Amino acid sequence: MKSTLKLALGLASAALASTAVSTAAHAEDLTLCWAAWDPANALVELSKDFTKQTGIGMKFEFVPWTNYADRFLNELNSHGKLCDLIIGDSQWIGGAAENGHYVKLNDFFDKEKIKMDDFVPATVVGYSEWPKNTPNYWALPAMGDVVGWTYRKDWFSRPELQKEFKEKYGWDLAPPKTFDQLKQIAEFFQKRQIDGKTVYGASIYTERGSEGITMGAMDVLYSYGFQYENPKKPYEMEGYVNSEKSVKGLEFYKALYDCCTPPGASNSYMGEGVDAFKSGQVAMHMNFAFTWPGLQKDENVGGDKIGYFVNPKGPDGDQFAQLGGQGISVVSYSDKQESALKYIKWFANKDVQAKWWSLGGYSCLNAVVNDPKFPSSQPYAQAFLDSMAIVKDFWAEPSYAPLLQASQKRFHDYVVAGQGSAKDALDGLVKDWTQVFQDDGKM
């Protein structure tokens, strides 16, 4: 009886001890918050190496894009401890820095000899700095991304289509260099029968709820001459946001929507665009570069059937593209900041960054993207590099949310619902944005 009791006590102690050990191990686990998309799966795979090296476990909280901002901005605003590390959207950086959500990383970078000069300059400004163009770093560039285009290489190369196109427009059917060319190609394919199926010209961003139509319209407006403000006088928007060139750009975006998109594409963003392209509905497809690895692998439209091109030039030869992507930050409310910083140090390593690219993530490290082998490493690598060289981003002010909501409304009202004129929409946008900055005491 005594021995049985001893055995029971021994087992109970062992169980308690193992629970304590496992609790201690779990206490070290880091939670990384990001959007639920293909690169997140690549990051899960990549992070296994971090756990192997350090013994620190990784947990992930991925939220679909449509709820990503709502979910994580709520988390940060409520000073939640769910996320130790967060890959937050580029536009959050101002608010996150000013409201103390992110840990400032300057001292850490100095200590660990992580130099921002080692990263693609546009990504440092876009993902890490606040205020912009000052050496105040709140994130490490993690996932480079930019809006670009994919096209159906197999359709473009059909002799009968090439012949017909040349006869109609007088130039060879090829990836467009200007937006006018892009529209001509889109018109050419709109409602065309290909392999017994009706296809359409292009899939573009029209989504109303989060940021879709703004990302799409801006992608065109930048190259038409749109500017957010007077470069010499911050926050002066009259004549810049609603300049004649901007009006032309917005009119073009509406014309493209009206003439050449699939029926019912009035609320289309990243997922819907991918669906339209994968299902063989469209000849061209505007989307962030993160979608390219998945499309390249697709059995129906990938491989030799897909091609990539950089956002075309505007009427005056200006060429810009909407920046996407994010930096990785340490959440200031986390109790595990030390471990989180270890992760950032590990992630900044060149070998890790090279593996990140090979798994489907978009590295922002110069050593990776400037490697002579990089352009030929993937069919889309050159288009990505060229696109990253011409990026512009939306406001990254602490008030980015109301600024974004205003542009979502104004653009959707005009482009999709056809209410008012492009001038009305942009004049209204100046009014809305002015109000936001006045409320912030910046004007």
Partner 1 sequence: MLNRTADNAARATPEPLAKKIRGISDKGLAWLFISPTILLLLAINIFPLFWAIYLSFTNFRANRPNEVVKNLGLSNYQRILGDQDIWIAMQTTAHFVFWTILLQTVIGFTLAWLIDRKFRGHAFWTTIILVPMMLSPAVVGNFWRFLYEPQIGLFSYVISFVTGIPPTNVQMLSNVELAPWAIIIVDTWMWTPYVMLICLAGLRSIPEYIYEAAEVDRASNWRQFWSITLPMALPFIMLAVLFRGIENFKMFDMVNLLTGGGPGSTTEVASITLKRQAFESWRTGYSSAFAIILFVAVFGLANIYVKALNKVKQR
Chain positions contacting partner 1, by CB under 8 A: 69-70, 73-74, 77, 79, 95, 98-100, 198, 208-209, 262-267, 281, 398, 401-402, 404-405, 409, 412-414, 416-419, 439
Buried b (16+ CB within 10 A) or exposed e, 121-148: ebbbbbbbbbeeeeeebbbbbbbbbbbb
Shortest distance, position 272 Cβ to partner 1, whole Å: 11
Nearest to partner 1 of 55, 264 (CB atom): 264
Shortest distance, position 81 Cβ to partner 1, whole Å: 16
Rounded distance, CA 371 to CA 354, Å?
Answer: 10
Nearest to partner 1 of 296, 407 (CB atom): 407
Nearest to partner 1 of 357, 400 (CB atom): 400
What SS3 state is found at 167?
helix
Rounded distance, CA 91 to CA 161, Å?
Answer: 42
- What strands lie across the sheet with 326-330, from one edge to the other? 58-63, 30-35, 85-89, 326-330, 140-143
Using alpha carbons, select from 150, 88, 159 the residue that is nearest to residue 328. Answer: 88
Shortest distance, position 363 Cβ to partner 1, whole Å: 31
Shortest distance, position 433 Cβ to partner 1, whole Å: 12
Nearest to partner 1 of 63, 73 (CB atom): 73
Shortest distance, position 396 Cβ to partner 1, whole Å: 15
Rounded distance, CA 128 to CA 389, Å?
Answer: 17
Quote the distance between the C-alpha of residue 436 and its chain's center: 24
What SS3 state is found at 200?
strand
Nearest to partner 1 of 88, 176 (CB atom): 88
Shortest distance, position 175 Cβ to partner 1, whole Å: 26
Nearest to partner 1 of 267, 377 (CB atom): 267
Nearest to partner 1 of 36, 401 (CB atom): 401
Task: Decide if 179 contacts 220 (C-beta within 8 A).
Answer: yes
Shortest distance, position 352 Cβ to partner 1, whole Å: 33
- Tell me the HSE value of 42 on the side-chain side, using a 13 A CA sphere: 21
E strand or H helix at 26: helix 2-27
